[in-house]
A = this chain, B = another copy of it.
């Protein structure tokens, strides 16, 4: 159940069509996942979010594409966002993540969950040696 209906034929709005066309061109295929269909209810929101995702995730940069998806998926797990977990885990696979790397990714994420709770429980003071400010 969603809070919004999935818009029917959103591409009749030229602003939506322009974004959908750019998603297809950027990704090199015709698949438009649900996120973009739902955001089409408000073309401004659709344009804003796509501009961000394209700029941060779909542009060659100093981190490799798989690493970027793993960072994205890690945050999504901690925030319990089901859609984002699925989409970014799938994207990491598409960008080369092996099963061994996925197992290791899960080990790191869950170990972080463990020590985050442990340190937040004790409130250990931060070492001055970590200070770069």
Contact = CB atoms under 8 A, between A and B. Distances in A.
Interface of A: 1-6, 31, 33-35, 38-39, 41-42, 44-45, 48-49, 52-53, 55-57, 61-63, 67-68, 70-90, 93, 98-127, 129-133
A80 B83 contact: no
25 contacts: A1-B86, A1-B126, A2-B123, A2-B132, A3-B122, A3-B132, A35-B119, A42-B103, A53-B111, A61-B104, A68-B108, A70-B71, A71-B105, A72-B111, A74-B75, A75-B78, A79-B80, A79-B112, A80-B120, A84-B115, A87-B127, A106-B118, A106-B122, A110-B115, A113-B117
A53 B126 CA distance: 18
